[in-house]
Amino acid sequence: MEVRPEALAAFQRAGREAHANPAALHRAGRRAQGVLEDARDRVAAVLRCSASEIIFCSSATEANNISILGAARAMERVHGKSPHLVSSKAEHPSVLGPLRHLQQMGCRLSLVPLENGARVPVEKLLQAAEGGEGVNLFALQWANNETGTVQDWDALASAVLDSSFLHCDAVQGIGKLPFADSIFSSHALVVSGHKIGAPKGVAALRLSPLAMLDPVSFGGGHQRGFRPGTESPDLATSFATALELAVAEQAAFARETLSAKTALLEILKNEFPQLVCQQPEEGNSLPNTCSLSFPNMDGRKLLPALDAEGLAVSSGSACSAGAPKPSSVLLACGVSAELARATVRISFGCGQGEVIGKKVGAVVVAVLDRIYKVGNL
């Protein structure tokens, strides 16, 4: 989404007034430190924790790596054996990447199969964890970035928290879903700045006091040693501003974008009865995201054609969309490679309601009609 004007203004103001290194002892450094800690306090208030539990990072990818790799190191040190890693095939590459790295280093990794729409069945997670003898590291997302599926965190958290480390990738849910108390019972929770209207280059990792974590990078002693390096008051205060607004406006965002998505789906279902919706029923998915499969359609033609009409859509995770492969998430859900290649993800943003949904629907229909007519079938 675009950078929020308020977040941009906060970034620019801090850049003028708090440009010094916040670790410096001179007056300008102390001023920068004050701006930084004010931002940390504000983020902590939204995420229901103390300021000491907030670690500012450069991205959700970095935050996921700090948490997962650091937890695995600490669990091996404390328990004398590598943890059993339990996750799903629906996770973002920034979660699966460190998990697969740990697998190469000797950890056992269990990726549970998915139900329709990329839902992770809790009972299968527990079955997979039985071999871990209580030394389990669970790493799961709150909502899927491709299908929009919202996971059952109430059931998940109550089932696994007793003797395990629970990592929550909350990037897709913050600002789109009402807070679920259960996500705050996780040992680690990750929020990305650019998903909520802050500039790119900032994220937050919320670490519970109960979280066992060892550092995975070294240098200075910044942020309890978990994320060494000079901190940016500019990005931190911009992130805090965007987070406050995203949470305050969540209900309006959900109402508007769901209206847009509903209007779009109504048009497309009427025009293309063969349409396959990859997201679950309403109430179990993000309000703004839809994953749509058009049988016998070549996605390599569809995406650039929609782009030429001014629609920015994708065929999978934006972090790996450059790869000419069908979505690994859809393949894990049992979708054929052919249908996965004919799938696009359309997400709506702030202020985009029913009128925008209808306009997008009309453009998609026109593009599909044109492609089908030139012999794509």
Query: What sign has the CA pseudo-torsion 91, 360, 4, 50?
Result: negative
CA distance 96 to 87: 8
Tell me if 20 sits within 8 A of 32, measured CB to CB.
yes
Identify which of 46, 51, 48 has the alpha carbon closest to the alpha carbon of residue 245: 46
319 is catalytic: yes
- Alpha-carbon span 243 to 46, nearest angstrom: 8
DSSP string, 112-165: E--BGGGB--HHHHHHHHGGGTT-EEEEEESB-TTT-BBP-HHHHHHHHTTSEE
Which one of 49, 168, 277, 319 is the catalytic residue?
Answer: 319
- Cα–Cα distance measured from residue 108 to residue 99, given in angstroms and rounded to the nearest whole number: 9
**Chain center to CA of 133:** 29
Q: How far apart are CA 271 and CA 274, in angstroms?
A: 9
β-strand partners of 176: none
Residues labelled as active-site residues: 319
